[in-house]
């Protein structure tokens, strides 16, 4: 018997796999599964399945990119190409009373750079710098780096940009902008003001009216690739709204004359500075407002901030003898005196422990009230004011606008100074009576005389005649109703007394103008120095009107801290005469047909 073990069915190599079948199920192979691809049909089916599986993956990704993430990805791609440019609004024009432009806006270009496109910064800067008027080193710094947007220069002329664009330098672009231009240079510069590099007002009316003048910028959105606009791309734009133009009350020709006459006298007298106000007393319109020194608003940063202010509005001074016109008006209105009233003026007048004197020493004088004004007697003014008392006198000063804002709303305006009645010391009343101890700006000083010229009615000074909208229509700025200060009869009487000042018996006979009746008053006041809290130097002034019988013009001249002379009659009077002579002719004001009354100066 053989000892060899029988071979088990599972160990027989050539045996086909058996199928196990459970009850109720299909046969399941129990041996190894083998993929037989020898059949062409099977290979095709396999390849098709793999292809469909791969295709389904691509299709799923496509759905994700196109449908699920598509809008976001498209927006991101477009945003990377979109560039929004500012369409600058044209700043409103500022004109004189006749519509002649004093400040206007011209088109300009800002030069920009995509630094990533500049291959040779040093070479590019060498070419650009002369056209931009900038140092090569500065331009090199501005165009070097990895910024996609940077400014190289702002507000260059369109012609300058054409020269740069003709070079075709990759990475150098431009955008539209505007530039403020002052065609008359320094004319009325301290009134109009100036704008900064960003196009907003930084001084004067440019600052005060910045909101109205600026308008609203528009936008233009375009698609660009490598800095170049896609020709077929869609543009989206919002049009700018231009600013509102402003018409001033200032007459350019009178302004120019006032500035020349003032500059000549400030230079001649070695003064620190000066102001001139030319006003129409019937409306309060300021026809000229000159200050010196001044500046060129086309190049405002070449001068100090101090020079760019408007001291005629912002700075105050003690008016001195020009203030006596208020004293005269108050005592006449109250019926205390008439121009013929007699005064005995002593050599000195003791009050509250202080002895007051006139400017020139003298013995006892016998003057009428008219003579007190004509000779500018300090002691006579004190005696006159005392007749109506402190309270009434203070009330008249307030009605004349002393210590209050003019209502012009000019940036930086000072209200001046008038001590409250409760704060008066023993010497305050007599000091105020002859024009010291209170402070005014040049506009307020002119307004006092304009009130007398306008039959006792104080009009609010104004610089704005009206506005011109984008439709081209002019909207006038109507004068505000005036405030009654004294009666017409009192105002007429004071005007006639002021004519005595420019007579042979007064302090300013040289202020007379042939063919016209002139009324005015000189002033020579000690100037208060806030730094030393004492008086240092003088303010020499002359304020007058013409024709005296029916005034059309009031002119105030102030010369601050003159060195070569300091009397109002000799320093400020000649400036008044030059400007008034010109303005009367320029404004076509007919000569006087009557003679001034003869009012005695002494008794």
pLDDT digits (tens, 9 = 90+) for 439-453: 999 999 999 999 999
Token look-up 């009343």 returns: 429
Q: Give this prediction's pTM.
A: 0.82
- Whether domain 252-586 has CATH 2.30.30.760: the reply is no
Catalytic member of 245, 321, 323, 341: 321
CATH of 83-116+151-248, one of 3.90.1310.10, 3.40.50.2300, 3.30.70.660, 3.40.50.300: 3.90.1310.10
What does each C-alpha distance from 297 to 187, 308, 433, 549 come to in angstroms?
9, 9, 41, 40
Q: Average pLDDT over the chain, rounded to whole? A: 89
Q: pLDDT at position 12, please?
A: 47
Which helix (H) or strand (E) segment is 575 a member of?
helix 573-586
Q: pLDDT at position 497, please?
A: 97
CA distance 202 to 183: 19
* Cα Rg of the chain, angstroms: 43
> Per-residue pLDDT tens for 282-317?
999 999 999 999 999 999 999 999 999 999 999 999
Domain map of the chain by residue range?
Answer: 83-116+151-248, 252-586
What is the arithmetic mean of pLDDT over 500-524?
Answer: 94
What does each C-alpha distance from 499 to 93, 366, 456, 503, 504 come to in angstroms?
42, 20, 17, 7, 10
Is 321 marked active-site?
Answer: yes
Which residue spans within 280-380 are E strands per DSSP?
Answer: 286-292, 342-345, 349-351, 354-356, 365-368
> Per-residue pLDDT tens for 114-162?
999 999 999 999 999 999 999 999 999 999 999 999 999 999 999 999 9
Q: pLDDT at position 473, please?
A: 93
- pLDDT-derived band at 489 (thresholds 50, 70, 90) equals very high
**Can you say whether the dihedral through the CA atoms of 167, 168, 172, 178 is positive or negative?**
positive
């Amino acid at each position: 018997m053989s000892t060899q073990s029988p071979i088990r069915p599972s160990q027989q190599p050539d045996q086909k796999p058996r199928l196990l079948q459970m009850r109720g199920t299909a046969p399941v192979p129990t041996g190894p599964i083998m993929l037989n691809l020898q059949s062409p049909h099977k290979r095709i089916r396999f390849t098709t399945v793999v292809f469909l599986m791969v295709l389904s993956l691509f299709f799923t990704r496509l759905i994700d990119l196109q449908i699920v993430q598509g809008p976001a990805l498209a927006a991101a791609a477009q945003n990377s190409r979109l560039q929004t440019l500012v369409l600058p609004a044209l700043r409103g024009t500022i004109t004189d009373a006749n519509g002649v432009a004093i400040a206007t806006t011209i088109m300009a270009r800002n030069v920009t750079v995509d630094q990533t496109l500049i291959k040779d910064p040093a070479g590019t800067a060498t070419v650009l710098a002369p056209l931009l008027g900038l140092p090569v080193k500065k331009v090199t710094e501005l165009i070097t780096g990895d910024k996609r947007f940077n400014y190289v220069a702002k507000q260059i002329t369109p012609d300058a940009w054409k020269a740069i664009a003709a070079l075709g330098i990759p990475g150098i672009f431009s955008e539209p902008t505007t530039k403020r231009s002052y065609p008359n240079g320094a004319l009325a510069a301290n009134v109009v003001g100036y704008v900064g590099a960003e196009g907003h007002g930084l001084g004067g009316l440019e600052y005060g009216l910045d909101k109205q003048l600026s308008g609203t910028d528009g936008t233009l959105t375009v698609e660009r690739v490598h800095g170049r606009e896609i020709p077929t791309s869609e543009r989206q734009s919002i049009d700018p709204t231009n600013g509102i133009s402003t018409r001033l009350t200032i007459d350019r020709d009178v302004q120019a004359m006032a500035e020349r006459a003032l500059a000549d006298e400030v230079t001649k007298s070695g003064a620190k500075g000066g102001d001139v106000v030319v006003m129409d007393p019937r409306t309060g319109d300021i026809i000229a407002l000159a200050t010196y020194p001044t500046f060129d608003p086309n190049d405002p940063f070449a001068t100090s901030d101090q020079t760019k202010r408007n001291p005629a509005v912002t700075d105050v001074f003690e008016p001195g003898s020009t203030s006596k016109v208020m004293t005269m008006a108050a005592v006449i209105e109250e019926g205390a005196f008439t121009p013929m009233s007699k005064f005995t003026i002593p050599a000195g007048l003791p009050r509250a422990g202080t002895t007051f004197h006139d400017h020139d020493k003298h013995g006892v004088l016998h003057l009428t009230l008219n003579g007190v004004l004509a000779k500018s007697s300090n002691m006579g003014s004190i005696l006159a004011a005392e007749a109506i008392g402190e309270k009434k006198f203070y009330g008249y000063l307030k009605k004349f606008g002393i210590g209050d804002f003019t209502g012009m709303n000019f940036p930086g305006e000072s209200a001046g100074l008038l001590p409250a009645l409760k704060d008066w010391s023993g010497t305050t009343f007599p000091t105020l009576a002859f024009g010291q101890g209170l402070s005014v700006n040049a506009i307020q000083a002119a307004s006092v005389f304009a009130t007398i010229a306008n039959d006792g009615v104080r009009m609010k000074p104004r610089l704005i005649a009206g506005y011109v909208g984008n439709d081209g229509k002019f909207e006038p700025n109507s004068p505000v109703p005036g405030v009654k200060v004294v009666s017409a009869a009192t105002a007429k009487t004071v005007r006639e007394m002021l004519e005595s000042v420019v007579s042979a018996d007064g302090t300013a006979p040289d202020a007379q103008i042939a063919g016209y009746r002139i009324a005015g008053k000189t002033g020579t006041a000690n100037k208060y120095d806030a730094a030393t809290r004492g008086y240092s130097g003088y303010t020499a002034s002359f304020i007058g009107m013409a024709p005296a019988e029916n005034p059309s013009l009031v002119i105030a001249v102030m010369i601050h801290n003159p060195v070569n002379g300091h009397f109002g009659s000799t320093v400020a009077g000649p400036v008044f005469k030059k400007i008034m002579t010109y303005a009367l002719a320029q404004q076509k004001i007919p000569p006087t047909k009557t003679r001034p009354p003869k009012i005695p100066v002494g008794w």
